[in-house]
Structure 1
Amino acid sequence: MHIGCELLLLLLVACVFFSHTQAYSALQDARIIAQYKRQLELNHAKIARQLVHRANWASVGSISTNEVVKDYPMVNIISVDDTGLGGNSTGVIRFLLVDLDFTGPDWQKNNKVTFMFTDEQTLKCKNANMDPMEPTCARVIISGQVKKLPDHDPSYKPALNIFIKRHPAAANWINEHNFYLCELNIRNIFVLDFYGGPHQVNATDYYAIKI
């Protein structure tokens, strides 16, 4: 009786395994192949450029100088623009900072910051019924150093006017609170746009993309 029960159990396990294998072959294989093909078609540098260009703002992380949370990571919302003089995307991330805010004092102590852009900023993920944490809800994480642009440089005023064109409220910020124009000197780019973890993108490849 004991041997018969063991044999029956083995047969049941075999049937379940066979059924599962058949279902996997019919359903899972097609899904995995489709995902694999999509992954092969992904241009991570292009996705990074598109996310940056579409975004009006970014989440920015810095090392806090605020006495309440000193040396903790600090996160802020910063308005951004990457538009060139011809109205095209350049990939150069420009933004306004002020010393009254968190990021302003932080970068002057340690100018290393990280920007994050995500497809959820344009509600692309929500409209596709996709959670913003899903890897297929593309995001780009760009680390670099803040560079304050010299306001006496001939290119400063045109660059500032382009920024204000995209962010009209910035004209008031500059007049009332002494905001100044900066850009990010990119050191590293991570793109997460599919399952399997982030992809590192070279800054040269990022800037070479035409969109």
Structure 2
Amino acid sequence: MELQVRLRQIFFFSFFLLTVLEHSYSARILTISKPDRHDVAASARWLVSQNIWGVLSTLSIEHQGAPFGNVVSFSDGLPGKGNGIPFFYLTSLDPTTRNALKDARASFTVSESPIGTCKRDPMDPTCSKLTLTGKLLQLDEGSEEEEVAKKALFTKHPEMMDWPKGHDFRVFKLEIINIFLINWYGGAKSISVDEYLRSKSIDQSRFLFMT
């Protein structure tokens, strides 16, 4: 009798857990630990690979070139296989897309705070933050790069596949020119684009689910 009660409890707990994961828009696979703070290139790559949204800033054509920041979803690749280049799925109905098509200069910012590994104020230097500056470029429709980007985006954001076709969604990437990282006291860390792209930040043997 006691065994039956125990099994029933396990069943209901498992059902509850699966239900939560199934209906949670933010449930995703994350690495357990972040890189050593002294490995600044790996730290930057980790921030990009583990985040699913950030603030994309362009130069507004409607406000005389004033900076225009917009919260956007993104992906740099399949879980554990990111290449460090942020991909975006943007509609031409949004000012960000129109701005980029007029002037490609842009920056993209992510923080450690949404990942859940930083319990301090987001502005605290020990709570890592990264800004990538470069050019926001539309990928050629039907190209191999666009297909890779779509797979990366739709894997992390499956809802995108159901977004209205008539809203003219297009695939963009950020061509990185400059990297600004703060992950500890002492100011911004120096990272070249080459160092960033060559870095391997993901321990693919250690994963957990976070919501």
**Do these two structures clear the TM 0.5 threshold for a shared fold by scoring above it?**
yes
- The unaligned stretches of length 5 or more in structure 1 are 1-39
Structure 2 partner of 1:89 = 82
| 3-state SS of paired residue (1:48) | helix
Letter of the aligned partner of 1:148 in structure 2? Q
Answer yes or no: is 1:154 the counterpart of 2:147. no
Instruction: Give 2:195's aligned amino acid.
Output: D
State the partner residue of 1:49. 45
- Tell whether 2:68 aligns with 1:74: yes
Query: Normalization by structure 1: what TM-score?
Result: 0.73
Identity of matched residues, %: 28
Equivalent residue, structure 1, for 2:21: none
Q: Which amino acid aligns with 2:82?
A: S
Aligned twin of 2:23? none
Q: Deviations over 1:73-120 (max 9, x none)?
A: 111011110115x96121121111211112111111110100011101
Which protein is bigger by CA-based radius of gyration? 1
2-side partners of 1:188 and 1:174: how far apart? Answer: 34
Considering only aligned residues, what root-mean-square deviation do their CA atoms show, in Å?
Answer: 1.8
User: Are the equivalent residues in 1 in contact too, given 2:134–2:175 (CA < 8 A)?
Assistant: yes
Q: Deviations over 1:153-193 (max 9, x none)?
A: 13423431331121112112262412111111100001101
Q: Where do 5+ consecutive residues of structure 2 fail to align?
A: 1-35, 203-211
**Superposition TM-score, scaled by structure 2 size:** 0.73
| Higher relative contact order (CA closer than 8 Å, sequence separation 6+) | 2
Partner SS, residue 58 of structure 2: strand
- How many angstroms apart in 1 are the aligned matches of 2:109 and 2:116? 15
Q: Distance in 2 between matches of 1:116 and 1:97?
A: 17
Identify, as 1 or 2, the structure richer in helix. 1
